[in-house]
Structure 1
């Protein structure tokens, strides 16, 4: 984690210096194309966005649930602030491509995971894809998407931490311990998946609506389809948590 963050910070400093050398001022909000692209790629790596996301699941898996929560939520704010500052000069095609790749990779790579932290890491990658795409459309929509993501992820990590569930197998054992927490987990998971009556559906609907308005229907359709694998593993987690009973050993002799 340290190496990745140090590398990206150094890259951002390098690009900023390059920009200052070429433009004569240090303002990041009006940089040239090359510097902007380099900074954007470095920030994407900081955020754990595809295709520079491979460090992210491993780091999340290697930490405690509380630290994973911090990396997944709080640590996104500073890089996103930089992207907000560069909003007018961002390479939109690169952002849209990275966003789409993130949603695809986050969904597909999360399908065969059994560790809850890795599943949440891939969930985070997919959601950051939606955030990047929102940033090309509207900063307000980006803020809404990011806040919704952070709230849902915080709730999910809080549930996992309370029930100390580190694997999918552990999730099947939680129903008897805390039914109310399990129900909350079910709602949070379905919200993360973006099912209609819940909060997570709203930003996705607004993003797809904006994309359709801007005649980016193929991208909107691909995004909607790419979010289905993510929905599958959320539903699988919800099924494991709420709809399966833990195995009981009977001690009665027949």
Structure 2
């Protein structure tokens, strides 16, 4: 793909998201989502491989169906109330349709089936965009309409997503599929806290994006695509191997690291709202995700591949460490002490 074409597509991608973020009219928000979808399709399918074509087709069909559902729900609400304002979604049926559409856009269970397949058919960089940037616009719409959405449906979706995200990742050997199930689980936490505390929801989204970006950049640098590839990542760069381990543990939500912060706040808020059972179930389902994060940590830092080259380092490839990795890494591992400042 030529640099000019890629620049146009990335600009369109950013423009679509910004239009949705800044809109107050449902048609404008829908236009932003459509621009976003149409811009990412060529980026997914640029490999000219049957797998990437399949991924692009699945992504297009799912996102088109979700956009149509958003348009239908807003039309139903406009028919009932006479307004197209995003903040005036008062029709219960329209709100249920909107919740399902946003869940499909985000990859929340039970409409999560497209996400692992699309990520597996994409390149690592494209998978990074789908896992991070593409979550901003639907989350913004959820943020704007959260006062009218059903808390019971969101809590059920959140619990289902954390369960499926943990369970589905256990059986995977492909790192992109593991990151897809990780995304489903993290978005489950976001959906669970959304009806109660939107500021914790935004904080969780920011930390999730930072950790996922850091993890994908580390995998891109070491050229790792399967669990077996992580066993030789130390030959590329021992420093990145250590940082990958810390990022994985942070994704799992272990206490000294940044990933513990949103889970801690969410469990505290759920307990305050007398949803103790929900908090307990969420904490238990996160153990499933923690298992495959720990398995990846183990293969990355504590095992040697049976076919390790006789030389100590990969002499043929000098890793080009991304500057973005040096920015996202401290944020994805070391911001837990800043918790009091973030809650002001």
Q: Same fold (TM over 0.5)?
A: yes
Greater mean alpha carbon deviation, residues 131-140 or residues 117-126:
131-140
Deviation of 1:28 after TM superposition, in Å, equals 2.1
For 2:284 and 2:242, the matched residues in 1 are separated by 27
Match of 2:78 in 1: 20
Q: TM-score of the superposition, structure 1-length normalised? A: 0.97
Match of 1:37 in 2: 96
Q: Deviations over 1:60-84 (max 9, x none)?
A: 0000000000000000000011101
Match of 1:3 in 2: 61
Alpha-carbon RMSD across the aligned residues, in angstroms, is: 1.2
Specify whether residues 204 and 174 from structure 1 end up closer, same or farther in structure 2 by C-alpha distance, changes over 3 A only.
same
Deviation of 1:246 after TM superposition, in Å, equals 2.6
- Is 2:134 the partner of 1:75? yes
Secondary structure of the corresponding residue to residue 84 of structure 2:
coil
Deviation of 1:26 after TM superposition, in Å, equals 0.7
Q: TM-score of the superposition, structure 2-length normalised? A: 0.72
Deviation of 1:143 after TM superposition, in Å, equals 0.6
Name which of 294, 297, 303 aligns with 1:235: 294
Secondary structure of the corresponding residue to residue 19 of structure 1:
helix
Deviation of 1:44 after TM superposition, in Å, equals 0.3
Deviation of 1:177 after TM superposition, in Å, equals 1.6
Secondary structure of the corresponding residue to residue 137 of structure 1:
coil
Aligned residues, how many?
A: 251
Secondary structure of the corresponding residue to residue 228 of structure 2:
helix
Match of 1:204 in 2: 263
Name which of 39, 42, 58 aligns with 2:117: 58
- Is 2:214 the partner of 1:155? yes
- Is 2:166 the partner of 1:84? no
For 1:54 and 1:136, the matched residues in 2 are separated by 24
For 1:138 and 1:70, the matched residues in 2 are separated by 26
Secondary structure of the corresponding residue to residue 234 of structure 2:
coil
Greater mean alpha carbon deviation, residues 120-129 or residues 10-19:
10-19
For 1:91 and 1:164, the matched residues in 2 are separated by 43
Q: Deviations over 1:166-196 (max 9, x none)?
A: 0000000111221000000000000000000
Deviation of 1:249 after TM superposition, in Å, equals 6.7
| Greater relative CO (CA pairs within 8 A, separation 6+) | 1
Equivalent residue runs for 1:154-233 within 5 Å: 154-233=213-292
Indicate if the aligned counterparts of 1:61 and 1:118 stay in contact, CA closer than 8 A. yes
Q: Deviations over 1:63-120 (max 9, x none)?
A: 0000000000000000011101101111000000000000000000100100000000
- Is 2:115 the partner of 1:115? no
Which of structure 1's runs of 4+ aligned residues deviate more than 2 A?
A: 246-250
For 2:137 and 2:71, the matched residues in 1 are separated by 15
